[in-house]
Amino acid sequence: MNYQEACNYISDIPKFAPKTGLINTRKLLEALGNPQETYQSIHIAGTNGKGSVAKMLALSLQSAGYKVGLFISPHLVKMNERISVNGEDISDGGFAESFQIIYNTCQELLKENTSRAETEEEFHHPAYFEFLFAMAADCFAKEKCDFVVWETGLGGRLDATNTVHPEICVITSIGMDHMQYLGNTIEEIAGEKAGIIKNGVPVIYNTGEEAADSVVERTATQRNAKAVNANTAALSEETEAILEEFMLGQTALYQADNARTVAVALEELFVSLGRDDANRCLKDGLDAFFWPGRMEEIAPGIIVDGAHNEDAVIRFAESAKAILHKKGYEKLSLIFAVCEDKDYESIIRTLCLELKLENVYVAELNTARKTPAKTVVDLFQKYRPAGEYWNNYGFSELSDALKTATKERDKKTLLMAVGSLYLIGEIKELL
């Protein structure tokens, strides 16, 4: 298949297929020759911040002279974004080639089902994320990567990426998201994320929740793994200065926690590698860091951020207020869209309580998971603080919402888009 046919095939695989454990993924990897064993890995889980941490670590390792693979999710515009080597996304041709290898291997394994012994579990076609993970694992082996940084997709314990055996694990901020899959309490969600901790493998964590910290620490103890709390770990004056300098150029205040987590993880990893240049590589990595869709200014006065759960939106609001103050904007308007499987009422309530808004432009996403604009508009009306008024528009097409919002924006108004990474991807594609 060519690139577009490969993308279409993968897109037709259910994104949230039922988890059946990791046996299926391990069978696929074994049939591929266990490519994940040919390089060293870093494994990252968390509700928010794991993509930024993954990118910072990859850039820092690249500065150290390693050839580094990076696997992330989701993508914003093209599937290629999920698989990159030394900062370069896999090419369309390379993507199609990698796809064909996994596709052919899956077909062979499916054919073998009829000859399997009754006691042996059948092979099932990989789910959406598992298929892409297998492509990445094989691609990084063929590229002869030294290190690969893996961002989990959903959860951790049953995530396809949990078939790798890393040098170090990292767990970032934990909050309420994907509750229908991961549990309804912080402790339950943290338990799924902590599922990436391996016997004897150090884990660096910065969850932002005491209850989640306790789960991580307990799991680490059970698995004889060193656990380091990045939030309380002692840092050298040089490291602190590097982090402070990095934040001077950041509009996203939440990147402070992510950068600190990276600093601690890098120090732990470099000690095990026998290197003493962690600070140099950290500075290089942070200097080169850019993460699309995270407080990204896509045009003067227009910023997009992929916050899509209550915890992330709280941090989004903090950054929004700081930008308003720092850059002298007098008003704030929002473009908003959200997936129906999110706790969008809590997200909207938080936005209304935390921010003084001018206009709200509600759009519908181009996905089956979209939430109707009217439902969202009604919730913004419901949670609007008493005595405040803002214009609240609903659009079935994002292009119309974007066109209206940019047309009505004046120089005193900061326009921000938030609610979903799908929203950010669609905006970037429209522009």
Which domains does the chain possess? 3-287 (3.40.1190.10), 296-430 (3.90.190.20)
Q: Please, which pLDDT band fits residue 221 given cuts at 50, 70 and 90?
A: very high
The closest of 230, 217, 163 to 191, measured between CA atoms, is 217
Q: Which one has a higher pLDDT value, 116 or 218?
A: 218
140-161 pLDDT per residue, tens: 999 999 999 999 998 899 999 9
pLDDT at 193: 95
State pLDDT tens for residues 387-412.
Answer: 788 889 999 999 999 999 999 999 99
The answer to whether the CB of 236 falls within 8 A of the CB of 279 is: yes
Asked whether residue 431 carries a pLDDT value surpassing 90, the answer given is no
Helix (H) or strand (E) holding 68: strand 68-71
Residue 48 is classified by DSSP as B
Q: Is 19 helix (H, G, I), strand (E, B) or coil?
A: coil
- For the beta sheet containing 203-205, the strands, ordered from the edge strand earlier in sequence to the opposite edge, are 88-89, 83-85, 68-71, 147-151, 40-45, 168-171, 203-205, 227-229
Give the integer Cα–Cα distance in Å for 275 and 157.
31
DSSP 8-state assignment for residue 35: G
At residue 118, does pLDDT exceed 70?
Answer: no
Q: What is the pLDDT of residue 280?
A: 98
Q: Which two tokens stand for residue 346?
A: 């809590």
Residue 324 one-letter amino acid: L
So what's the pLDDT on residue 68?
98
pLDDT tens, 51-66?
A: 999 999 999 999 999 9
Burial 160-185 (b: 16+ CB within 10 A, else e): bbbbbebbbbbbbbbbbbbeeebbee
Average pLDDT, the chain: 94
In percent, the amount of the chain with pLDDT more than 70 equals: 97
Average pLDDT over residues 282-302: 95
Can you give the pLDDT at residue 177? 63
Check pLDDT > 90 for residue 79.
yes
Q: Give dist(CA 264, CA 354) in Å, integer.
A: 31
Residue 425: C-alpha distances to residues 10, 96, 165, 304, 411 (Å): 18, 22, 32, 10, 25
- Of the CA atoms within 13 Å of residue 331, those in its CB half-sphere come to 14
**Considering only 14-18, 132-136, 238-242, 326-330, which range has the smallest mean pLDDT?**
14-18
Q: Is the pLDDT assigned to residue 179 strictly greater than 70?
A: no
- Taking residues 32-50, report their average pLDDT: 97
Q: Poorest-confidence range of 8-12, 200-204, 365-369, 385-389?
A: 385-389
Nearest to residue 391, comparing CAs of 352, 363, 361, 370?
361
DSSP 3-state assignment of 71?
strand
Count helices and strands (H / E) in the chain.
16, 14
Task: Look at residue 341 in the predicted model and tell me its pLDDT.
Answer: 87
- pLDDT confidence tier of residue 178, bands split at 50, 70 and 90: low
At residue 19 the predicted structure's pLDDT band, cuts being 50, 70 and 90, is: low
Please check the confidence at residue 20 and state whether its pLDDT lies above 80. no
Q: What is the pLDDT of residue 390?
A: 82
The reported pLDDT for the residue numbered 116 is 75
The tokens 């003493």 sit on which residue?
Answer: 276
Question: At residue 180, does pLDDT exceed 70?
Answer: no
Q: pLDDT band at residue 122, thresholds of 50, 70 and 90?
A: confident
Helices (H), 231-363: 237-248, 255-273, 278-287, 310-327, 344-354
Q: For 323-333, write each residue's pLDDT tens digit.
A: 999 999 999 99
Tokens at 5, concatenated: 């046919």
Predicted model pTM: 0.94
Question: Amino acid identity of 35?
Answer: P
